[in-house]
A and B are shown apart, each in its own frame.
Chain A
Amino acid sequence: MNADRPKKKKIVKTIQIDLDKCNGCRACEMACSTFHARPRYASNNPARSRVRVLFDPMRDLYVPVYAGDYAPAECCGRDRYTIEGKTYDECGFCRASCPSRDLFKEPDSGLPLKCDMCQEDPELKEPMCVQWCITDALTYVEREEEVEEENAAQPEELETGLEALADKFGLEKIAEAVARLAAARKG
């Protein structure tokens, strides 16, 4: 039945992060923070960067991570990855601005930071971090995807919602309300 749904094109923006190419220079932190300064480029401050590099050469760790969503609470557990014998720090790959750590927060206000792909006006062709990373540890790829148009609700959702309302208010009251709304919309 999905064949009936209309499709639309979506641009998916990806920053490709090649850990093997990262040299630990943190120019991405400088470039990001300066782009987001107001006035633009008036200052720079890695603590305000939306990309932070976990850089520990003695343990061979070079991991740029981008700020994601704000989390009002810590996860109830933490994760630690070991990949091919190398153990990364707790929450090393997590993007969240989280109460458990200082990362991805403005150093003065504590407000959360989130990567926006440098989508400002005018929009940059490539995010700043990618522009400044000439070792190509960070590259930028855009692709088009076809996604289904989002419907207001699936049939199942509709039924469940109505049943809940009917339980609460009674089916007669629901019918009356629907009729009233339909009339108001026509008018």
Chain B
Amino acid sequence: MAIWRNLVHRPKTRVHRTAGLPSWRLSVVLLVLVLVSGCAGGLRYQSWPGLLESDGTLYAASLEHIQALNSETGKVYWSFPSDEEKDAGPFYSAPVLAPDVADNGLLVVAGFKSQTVYGLALGASPAERPDELWRFQGAAGQYVGTGTVAGDLFIIGNGDGTVYALSLEDGAKVWEYATEDRVWAKPLVIDDRVYMASLDHFLYVLDLNSGAELWRFEAEGSISATPVFAGGDVWIGDFASKLYQIDLKAQDAVWTFEANDWLWATPIESDGILYFADVGGNVYALNISDHTMVWDAPVSVGDVVHGRPALSPDGDLLYVAGFERGGVHAIDTVTGNVRSSWGTVQESPGRLPGDLVTDGERLYSMPIMVPARVQSFSLVSGDLLWTAPPAE
């Protein structure tokens, strides 16, 4: 009772003029609030930009726009939404193309903050601004992961922990499947089965047509990487630094490898070699047939890595994006040596969170925290070809 009285009744005895709250204390309190708010980043939205290259056109989803650009020159054809309506962004999810839907194909992309999936009917020419065919707003969370087109469905995971299958025709929900945590991974679809990883540590295998769960695999850590199908098995890494080889018949891991750090980036496979990188910047080349490492030791690029690497058309070079220093590194796939002559030294390269994309001629990346939204490099020399918007 005494405690309650202390809170309710304040002594109203002799009061004299005081200086009140000292001004230095007021300043300190305000300073704390400013520091706290400035460091939290709650009001600022960043983006985890994503790219798609198709027939000479780049589709880029970044901070507030989805843009179509000429792959060769970086010229921007159009932006969606217009400058007046910026509610769609920011975008973490990369655009996905459904070429057989609508007259000229459908571009599907999901907004992070808007919690909306947009279906954009492309025009007859790349320069023609698309029409919004539909939008899906049935999810309760933010979209981080990219979706996948499978038949007449668009499958995408959401921050509300649910996997949604939408009709590509009208964006209507066909089925949904709830996991226990946020879904940031892109689904993999093989033979009418959806392989979808969740931050709840599980890789779920769902029926493509009904969304019914067929089986699930529990990893030690959360999974944000997209599963990769290689050598008849599914390969996936987790935050507990484990890479799993999952046998689809046994519905379980038949081999596990422990990396030096979290496995966030989606691996890439070519000619029986699985290339993957951990967030500590160690890059590995694994022969999937006999589980031997191609290189004597993991190659360190000296930077955080979590974007999916890319390969040159002949498979000789592996390109890896460093997040914090914003550099792209070219690694000789045979020797594991970093090719120091490859690349362009930039004064302010920004950061590279997203996947690298190549069209066989050029390598594309999307930096953040710099004015340039898209960069194009020569695959052979690493020379910077253009940036969009162009550097001043």
Q: Do A and B come from one complex?
A: no
